[in-house]
Structure 1
């Protein structure tokens, strides 16, 4: 099992496995057929409030990650995280995000949680 994070703007690669969009909003300028997204679990993404708070620059990445992990304890989000974890047990999974800096985004939080499975 390999779980990786890639930008949705990058072309698909043969070893991507299941491609999971982990953004709440569809990325600008990307046609749905060109993105090759297999799953889009919107309930797994940070809340609109948390996303806006983080993008406004009101807190550190560490605080954002902590708040996002707390949101992932919600039953719906936890169930979706378990689903992606199960996909990863069966094969490769690529988490897709439009974030300009995936290393300091919710996608890296998900990657860490999935790698720790």
Structure 2
């Protein structure tokens, strides 16, 4: 099970593995004060993509597509998250104010899709053509 949660909310036992998935450390929180299993800045959108999105809702669909392409190109950044999600509850922590239009939501969708791929009896995952309109 995968959840997304603002990093500023209190940790709960039901959160399971708590992983910060932002490239930048959240403002106003010391590293000692944040309850988390790990910080994975490399799974976050690239700096260029993050800046082009700038949390503008009208740019979210383009951001989602571009971020999913980045994720597909770097499974080494999210494989551990997939393992945690397969074996229990995973909570993706993010700092954005918008709870619907943020990188953690896109990452959660991407990981859910990956979980479904792993559950279906098929050959190994291949992404060729998946994100280029074929």
User: TM-score with structure 1 length normalisation?
Assistant: 0.90
SS at match of 1:20: strand
Residues 72 and 10 of structure 1: CA distance in aligned 2, closer, same or farther (over 3 Å): same
Give the C-alpha shift of residue 74 in structure 1.
Answer: 2.4
For 2:44 and 2:102, locate their aligned partners in 1 and report how far apart those are by CA, in whole Å: 11
> What does the per-residue CA deviation read over 1:84-107, in whole Å, with 9 as the maximum and x for residues that have no partner?
000111111100000101310111
1:11 and 2:16 aligned: no
4+ long deviations beyond 2 Å: 56-59
Larger fraction in helix:
1
Q: Residues of 2 paired with 1:104 and 1:33: CA distance?
A: 28
Higher relative contact order (CA 8 A, sep 6+): 1
Q: CA RMSD in A?
A: 1.6
Unaligned stretches of 5+ residues in structure 2: 116-134
Q: How many residue pairs get matched?
A: 114
Unaligned runs of 5+ in 1: none
Q: Under a length normalisation based on structure 2, what TM-score does the superposition of the two structures give? A: 0.79
